Structure formats: C-alpha cells, structure tokens
Chain A
Amino acid sequence: MPDLWAGFVVALQPINLLWGLAGVTLGAAVGVLPGIGPALTVALLLPVTYGLDPTAALIMFAGIYYGAMYGGSTTSILLNTPGESATIVTAIDGHQMARNGRAGAALATAAIGSFVAGTLATLALSLSAPLMVRMALAFGSAEYFALMVLAFVMVTTLLGGAGSRLAGWVSLMLGLALGSVGIDGLSGQARFTFGIPYLLDGVDPVIVAIGLFAIGETLWVVSRGPDEDQVLPVRGSLWMTREEWQRSWKPWLRGTAIGFPMGALPAGGAELPTLMSYAIEKRLAATPDEFGHGAIEAVAGPEAANNASAAGTLVPLLTLGLPTSATAAVLLAAFQQFGLQPGPLLFEHEPKLVWGVIASLYVGNAMLLVLNLPLVGLWVKLLSIPRPWLYGGILVMASLGAFSVHRSAGDLLLVAGVGMVGYLLRYIGAPVAPVMIGVILGPAAEQHLRRALSISQGDWSVFLTRPLSAALLAVAAVILLAGIRRRATLQSTDEAQ
C-alpha cells in the first residue's frame, strides 16, 4: 500500500495529469473510429515520445488504452457499428435501447459501468497481481481449448436470434471457416488462400467487423426502405432512471468479477469476458426475453467486463512481460524503448514508475467519467442527424477504416463482400455476432487444440484428465444439452396447442 501512495504522488503531478488527460482523450477518440484502434495509435506515437520522461509517456499510453475501451461503446450503441471488437456484445442490446429512445441511459450505464469496473479492477491489479499470475500459468493449451469450446456453445445458444439455434451455428461455422484462411500459425502452411498472396495473412477480424456491422447494417436498413427505419426520440430522463440504476449495479460488479481474471489470462482479449458477462446476465435476469430487445443489463455487464479485462491485461504485462493483446504488445515495445524490461524484476527496479502508472489508471478512470457523462447529451444528438447523411457518413468511415488497417485496396473489396454476407445473414434471420466470435477465437481454439495434442503426443484424454479443462467442457455440454431439451419441450407444447 505505501507503494501505491508513492505512485499517487507521481501520478498526481500536474505534468503527469496532463499527459494522462491527453491519453484518455485521444483513446476515447480512436475508440470511436472504426479501424483505428489503440494499438495503432500507440504505435504511431511511439517515436514521437522518445524524448519524453518514460513515466509520462507510459501514463499517456495506458490512458489511450483505457480511453479506447471507453469510446468503443459509443458507436456500438448509437449506430450498431462497434468501433472495437470488445464492444460487439454491447451493440446487441445497446443499439436496441437507442432505438427505443433510451440512448442516453445506455451510454450512461456504459460510462458508469466502465468507471466502476476500471476502478475496482485497477484496485485488484494493485492487490492481487502475483496471485493472478499463478492462476494464469495454470492455464495450458487444453484449458484454453475447453474455454473456447464453452464460448462457442454460449454464443450460439445465447445469440441464436429468433428461436433458431441452427442459424447461430451456421454463423459460427462461417466465422470459423473465415478465421482459418491464411498461413497456419503452427506449421506455416497456407490454407484456403487459393494462391492469392493477399490472403496469406488471413482475414483481419477488424475488416470482418466493419463489413458485418457497419456495411451489413446499412444495406439492411436501405433494403427495408425508409419507413421501417424509425428511431424513437429520447423519452424520459436523458440519463438513467431509478429503475435503470437498480438494474445496472449488480451487472457492473459481476462484469468486473468476470472481466478482470479473464483479462489476466495469457490468452487475453476482451471478447470472451464480454460474452460470458452477457450469458450470465441473461441467465440471472428477471426478464430474459427482453435480452436482444434492449435490456440494460446486457449493456451494463459487458461494458464493465471489457474495461475490467483491460486492467487484467496489465497483470501479465507488468509481472511477466507477457503481452496478451495487440495493444499490450505495443505497450511492451514502449517499455523496451525506454530500456525497461517488464517482468518479475520491474516492480523491484522501477517501483516509482510501475506504481505511478497503476495510480494513473485510477486517475484516468475518474477523468474519463468526468469527460464522458456530460458528453452523453452531445452523443445522443448524433441520432438526430438526417438518416441519409448518417448512413452516408457511416459508409465513408467504414471504407476509410477498412483501408487504413493495412492501406490495401484488397481490404476494400473484402469489406464490401463481407458486408453483403452480413446483409444475407440478416435476411435469413441469422445472428451476426457468432461470425465475429468464430473469426477471432477460431484460429486460437484450433492452435490450442493442436498444441495440447502435440504436447500430449496425440493423446486426446488430456482434455478430460486435466480437471479444469474437464470442468469447462462439462459446462459446455450441459448448456448444449439443456438448450436442445428446452427446444424439444417448446416444440412439443407448440404441437399440443
């Protein structure tokens, strides 16, 4: 604890406060833009910060990371176009809330939930980092594979759309197939590339997200004609009502509890924890049928989970020097640029710097809340832009985002193609989120499967003899069977009527 106080002394120096403010502002801005994520921003700023004091630069970079987690939710809620893959789950119910006239409440619960989660998770980071590391190291490839199987079952069961689980599985398989395009990470063998060099590096999830959400959504809206595209004006309080507060606070805490440890796992990423949070909230909700039509719990929980997982990511980064996300990898490069090697000795050698960065995360969270709550009213105005111009703007931003990821014209063609697939999925009533989960987690799941089998020399029983992996697979099986049984019961009652 005295270390943390010393850290606050560092973080609260005016110059460091200023750098923190610059970081969170910049982060919130890039979180809003599709395609331009925190990793790219930090990488672009790296050479510029060479002359800076390392503490100041790292405080700014950490601010960018948190700010981007915050900003990504805004476009998900208002426009159904997630700026970051971490906010895909938010878009599902958040956008429905916006259509129902509760955009302000959705943005507010996201902002406050992010603040609560960010603060609690940062506290957990300063208290429990060594413990988290030991837990994370117990996760081997077998456990990761089991965890991802569980995620696949959950995403199809929960987001299966209007009663059709089959459609959910079709979407997931499409995502898995897209994810396996390119050079195989384990053998270096090219798959599904058809001799086209462009495909060697695979299909970038960012491109798929922009195509499925921004372009698919626009085509869908256009095809249904202007009469169908009605957004209710904001009704009631701009911010949250008393009832919405009551429905939000528990999901915030649960989201934090899920997000932080999962972020600390070396497989990393915010997609799994947001999905798990959605699943648990739906399970516990008084009105699970409201999920998918604008349930506030479905925004509060995942938003808390994604911010908490961002703090969790810093655990393996600071204690092991192990980056678990693209942004963390760039942060690692930032540490190395200043001649610092994150790892077990960093806390001993540079206590002021490490605790300064951790303390600045608390401060950054408070800044983000102050910055974002007053802006809710402004963001909501985005919905009053005439619809034709709004969709025109979305498409321009989408093509720009797709182009700027690799500065490749091929990506523009791909994003248009994926957009049409997104339209087709909406037309047949299939959910689009499982495609994303498949693209993002599919390659990792396959690699972990093959790594586990390679380590065990081909013995499939590792998935059942390791207790954690067996438990995760058992949960997946239960969810799958329960879903099938419930469907069977539903069908028989239908027939009886």
Chain B
Amino acid sequence: MRGVPLGRAVVLILLAATPLHAQSSLTIVAPAAPGGGWDQTARVMQRVLAESEPGISVQVDNIPGAAGTIGLARFVQSERGNPDALLVTGLVMVSGVITNASPVSLSHATPIARLTGETEVIVVPSASPHQTLGDLIDAFKRNPGAVSWGGGSAGGTDDLLVRLLAEQVGLPPSRVNYIAFSGGGAALAAVLGGQVTAAVSGYGEFAGQIAAGQLRPLAISAAKRIATIQAPTLREAGVPLDLANWRAIVAPPGLSDAEHDALIARVTRMATSEAWKKAVAQNGWDDLFLAGADFRQFLLAEQSRVEAVLHRLAATEAAGPPRFTLAVTPTTVPNITVAIFGILAAGLAWSRARGSATAPPAPGWRMAAFLALALLAQPVLMLAAGFIASSTFLFTVAATAWRGARPAAGILAKDTAVGAVFAIFIYVIFTTGLGVALP
C-alpha cells in the first residue's frame, strides 16, 4: 500500500546500514533520546570501537527518560554481571537521581571512566551594563530576585552552577531567580532578546554569538583557563568554584575484578586512540579522560557536592515563605486545570441529561468493547507472543469487529491470512530496514 516511496527508502537504508556480522558484541546504552549529548557520545564510541576492533558489533540502545534515571534503573537491573554492556552517564544523571527520587543511583553501577566534558559559560547580552562577573555578582547580591538567570532544565548543569555560585558568594541557593528553558539552546533567544539578565550554558551553545560579539562571556566554569576562550575562569574572577558538564561510562554491577579491569583497559584503548581524539575535537568537547580508581573518587566527590546543594535548596524552599502573593507554584496550574475540567464535564453531563438530544445509535457497541479488550491485551500479548502473532490477532479481531457478526470460518481464515502477511511485511521493514527492534 505504501509501496513506491517506502520501497526506495528501504533500499537506501539497507545499503547504508547493513549490519556487520560479527562474533563478539557490545551494547552501549544511551539513557536519552537520539540527538543529545549522551546519544552522540554513544554513537561516536560505537564508530571508533567498530573501527579499532574489527569483527566486533556495537549496538547503541536508547532508553530515554527522567534525566537518564529510567535508563540507569533498567541497565542496573537487567544487565547485572554482563561484561559486554556499557552505560553513558554524566553530571545531569547525578542530580537527576536526587530530584527524581530514583531508587537506583550511580553507586549501584561499576565506574569505568570519565571521557569528555564541556565547560560552562556565564554570558550577558553585549548591551548589558554588567562588564565583569564582579558587576553581575554585585547586582545579584543587592537584589537577588531582580537578576534572572536563564539556562537549561531544572536540576541540570546550568541550574547547579548558578546555585553553587550563589552559595559561594554567600546567598542561599533558593534565592536564585533561575528561569529554566527546555534545553540549553532555548535560553539563547531569551538572553539575546534581553528577557533575562544573564544566561548559563555549555560553551558550545553560545560560541557563535560570543564570536559574533552579540554576547559577552563573563566567566567560564573550567578549572583552568582555556586558550581559545577570551574569558576568565570563575576562580580567576574570585569565586572558588569549578564545574564541568562531564560525561562518563559505567558498567553493570556484579562484574569480576578481571572483567572490570578488562573493560577499563578496553575503554582506555579507545579513549587514547587517534580516531577518538579527532571526534572529540570535532564535536567541540574537552578531553577529560580519567579511568579506574581516580574516576571512582571523582564520582563520589561530585555526588556529595551535588547532593549537598540540592538538599539545602529543597530544605530552604520547603521552609521559606512564598516569594510573592498570587504565586504560581508547580502545582497551581495542574490543579486548577483538573478542577475546571471537573466542573465543565459535570456541566456538560447535566446539560446533556436535561437536553432532549438522544445518544447516537451504537448498534455495534459490543463489538467495540470486544475490540477495546483486545487492544488492552496487546502489551502482554506482544511481549509474550512477539509482534507478528499479536499483530495478526489484533488485525483479525478488528476485521471481525467491523463485520459486526460471528464470521464464517472461511472469512475468518482469510482475515487471519491477510493479517499475518501484513504483520510479517511490516516486521521485516521495521527490523531490517529502519533498525527498530521489535519483540
């Protein structure tokens, strides 16, 4: 039915993505949707490993959700003891574990190595009166609410940096007027348009505007000055603080010492290869390679400092008085929405009951209910019996339900046959063509 364009598409993808047949395999879990930093890290690793270890097949598995904690939980539970599985992680997951109250934390996984990182930068628009970080901090200390800080999502690296900065200059982290935007890049429009006083993001997101002179970098968060960036570090600007948006690799729990050492050696070999260094430079990442025991130390230190600031933040927010009257808290809008929905739905029901309008005829409601039951059974059926069997069943039920009567055996057999052919056709296209794994 969608033969012509899809057919060509499938051929194209087949040509481009024919998987290598290999004996050994490695799975890299990227706990985020395709396209983001964790996913890119996993995919660059996939390419470099496949080049440097011929005969190995490397899969990237995306398990997005809740700052990576859904991927972490599933990785720790289902890959226990598997020496051929790795998980990409980073600073955002450390805070995500706390803010999402995830029962599984990074301490449950086996640390392997820190790979890359990116420095954060604090910018103001070029028209801003704040010339240096000192100016901005003075204004911030004078009236914390009047200085709005734009950045990425709540609990992310940008948020953490501003809260840590506030603590260093002697203000409680809850006094920061932090405006979260979806993704660091979205804060860019707000700071360029002068909607927020300052913005914080990974350096790469603002690099173009800084080079073009539209944004003024006040400070970067790296520990040491970076030659290519014309801005002081926070330490140079008088704030004893450094923070990197680092990304790292961990393995599942339950590995033997030999397996653990072998994985560290393998990742070290990859991270010191020319191909990896080239890819790191090309993506604008900083090489922050740190393996084994040193990385374990680093991870513990990051966990304790992030936990400390987030707990102080939560404590002061819970205890403090509301910042302004008529405050819109995170629960205000949802609660009002549900309340209005309830009132309107009751009103609608009442007006329908009072009105003379009769419900439209639904002679086939039994069949619709039958079909609804089949749909509810799909998740179980698909996992238990596989995609092809469950889809054939769904197809047949839908066709039978539409006919509205108990069909003759011949018709039923024909429906089932058509459904099976259709399901197999779709299965082949999706698994081999688009690379979407189906049960």
Q: Is the CB of B40 within 8 A of A388?
A: no
Q: Is the CB of B399 within 8 A of A388?
A: yes
> Which residues of chain B are within 8 angstroms of A221 by Cβ–Cβ distance?
402
Query: Which residue of the partner chain B has the closest CB to A412?
Result: B379
Q: Is the CB of B402 within 8 A of A222?
A: yes
In the complex, A343 Cα to B192 Cα: how many Å? 12
The verdict on A409 contacting chain B, using a C-beta distance below 8 Å, is: yes
Question: Which residue from B204, B341, B368 sits with its C-beta under 8 Å from A174?
Answer: B341
Q: Is the CB of A29 within 8 A of B66?
A: no
Q: Is the CB of A329 within 8 A of B35?
A: yes
Q: Is the CB of A188 within 8 A of B99?
A: yes
Q: Is the CB of A180 within 8 A of B334?
A: yes
A37 to chain B, nearest CB (A): 11
For residues 378 through 407 of chain B, which have their beta carbon under 8 Å from a beta carbon of chain A? 378-380, 382-383, 387, 391, 394-396, 398-404
The verdict on A26 contacting chain B, using a C-beta distance below 8 Å, is: yes
| Supplied contacts A170-B341, A392-B399, A413-B376, 9 more A-B pairs, CB within 8 Å | A33-B2, A43-B33, A186-B330, A229-B402, A387-B402, A392-B395, A407-B437, A427-B362, A458-B327
The verdict on B180 contacting chain A, using a C-beta distance below 8 Å, is: yes
- Given A45-B16, A396-B422, A400-B391, do A166 and B347 touch, yes or no (CB 8 Å)? yes
- Given A166-B348, A223-B362, A427-B359, do A455 and B195 touch, yes or no (CB 8 Å)? yes
The verdict on B216 contacting chain A, using a C-beta distance below 8 Å, is: no
**30 intermolecular pairs with C-beta atoms under 8 Å apart:** A43-B35, A45-B16, A139-B193, A166-B347, A185-B154, A186-B180, A186-B330, A187-B330, A190-B100, A201-B65, A215-B375, A220-B368, A223-B362, A225-B364, A226-B403, A320-B209, A321-B205, A329-B35, A330-B34, A333-B36, A343-B207, A395-B398, A396-B422, A400-B438, A409-B382, A415-B375, A416-B378, A427-B359, A446-B333, A455-B196
The verdict on B136 contacting chain A, using a C-beta distance below 8 Å, is: no
> Which residues of chain A are within 8 angstroms of B70 by Cβ–Cβ distance?
197, 200-201
The verdict on A48 contacting chain B, using a C-beta distance below 8 Å, is: yes
Looking at chain B's contact residues, is the secondary structure mostly helix, strand, loop, or mixed? helix
- Given A322-B185, A396-B426, do A137 and B66 touch, yes or no (CB 8 Å)? no
Q: Is the CB of B348 within 8 A of A177?
A: no
Q: Which 3 A-B pairs have the closest CB atoms?
A: A343-B208, A458-B324, A43-B34
In the complex, A137 Cα to B214 Cα: how many Å? 13
The verdict on B9 contacting chain A, using a C-beta distance below 8 Å, is: yes
- Given A188-B99, A343-B207, do A322 and B188 touch, yes or no (CB 8 Å)? yes
In the complex, A447 Cα to B334 Cα: how many Å? 12
In the complex, A164 Cα to B347 Cα: how many Å? 12
Q: Is the CB of B333 within 8 A of A180?
A: yes
Q: Is the CB of B5 within 8 A of A29?
A: yes
> Which residues of chain A are within 8 angstroms of B284 by Cβ–Cβ distance?
336, 339, 341
The verdict on A403 contacting chain B, using a C-beta distance below 8 Å, is: yes
B167 to chain A, nearest CB (A): 18
The verdict on A449 contacting chain B, using a C-beta distance below 8 Å, is: yes
**B 92-115 binary contact with A (CB < 8 Å = 1; else 0):** 000000011010000000000000
B117 to chain A, nearest CB (A): 16
**A 326-350 binary contact with B (CB < 8 Å = 1; else 0):** 0001101100111101111110000
Q: Is the CB of B395 within 8 A of A184?
A: no
The verdict on A44 contacting chain B, using a C-beta distance below 8 Å, is: yes
In the complex, A190 Cα to B155 Cα: how many Å? 13
The verdict on B145 contacting chain A, using a C-beta distance below 8 Å, is: yes
The verdict on A254 contacting chain B, using a C-beta distance below 8 Å, is: no
Query: Which residue of the partner chain A has the closest CB to B359?
Result: A427
> Which residues of chain B are within 8 angstroms of A173 by Cβ–Cβ distance?
337, 340-341, 344-345
Q: Is the CB of A396 within 8 A of B395?
A: yes
The verdict on B298 contacting chain A, using a C-beta distance below 8 Å, is: no
Q: Is the CB of A388 within 8 A of B43?
A: no
In the complex, A339 Cα to B205 Cα: how many Å? 13
> Which residues of chain B are within 8 angstroms of A450 by Cβ–Cβ distance?
328, 333
Question: Which residue from B192, B205, B375, B415 sits with its C-beta under 8 Å from A395?
Answer: B375
- Given A427-B359, A449-B328, A458-B326, do A201 and B375 touch, yes or no (CB 8 Å)? no
> Which residues of chain A are within 8 angstroms of B297 by Cβ–Cβ distance?
none
Question: Which residue from A140, A320, A406 sits with its C-beta under 8 Å from B64?
Answer: A406
The verdict on A423 contacting chain B, using a C-beta distance below 8 Å, is: yes
A residues whose Cβ falls under 8 Å from a Cβ of B = 22, 25-26, 28-30, 32-33, 36, 39-41, 43-50, 71, 136-141, 164, 166-167, 169-170, 173-174, 176-177, 180, 183-192, 197, 200-201, 215, 218-226, 229, 266, 316, 320-323, 329-330, 332-333, 336-339, 341-346, 371, 375, 378, 382, 385, 387-389, 391-397, 399-400, 403-404, 406-407, 409-410, 412-413, 415-417, 419-420, 423, 427-430, 442, 446-447, 449-451, 453-455, 457-458, 460
- Given A322-B186, A391-B402, A396-B426, do A44 and B434 touch, yes or no (CB 8 Å)? yes
Q: Is the CB of B394 within 8 A of A396?
A: yes
**B 157-188 binary contact with A (CB < 8 Å = 1; else 0):** 00000000000000000000101111101101
The verdict on B269 contacting chain A, using a C-beta distance below 8 Å, is: no
Q: Is the CB of A140 within 8 A of B190?
A: yes
The verdict on B6 contacting chain A, using a C-beta distance below 8 Å, is: yes
Question: Which residue from A29, A224, A320, A454 sits with its C-beta under 8 Å from B362?
Answer: A224
Q: Is the CB of A419 within 8 A of B382?
A: no
- Given A191-B330, A218-B371, A419-B372, do A177 and B35 touch, yes or no (CB 8 Å)? no
Q: Is the CB of A138 within 8 A of B193?
A: yes
> Which residues of chain B are within 8 angstroms of A192 by Cβ–Cβ distance?
334
In the complex, A266 Cα to B181 Cα: how many Å? 12
Query: Which residue of the partner chain B has the closest CB to A26?
Result: B9
Question: Which residue from B47, B64, B153, B402 sits with its C-beta under 8 Å from A188?
Answer: B153
Q: Is the CB of B404 within 8 A of A226?
A: yes
Q: Is the CB of A416 within 8 A of B372?
A: yes
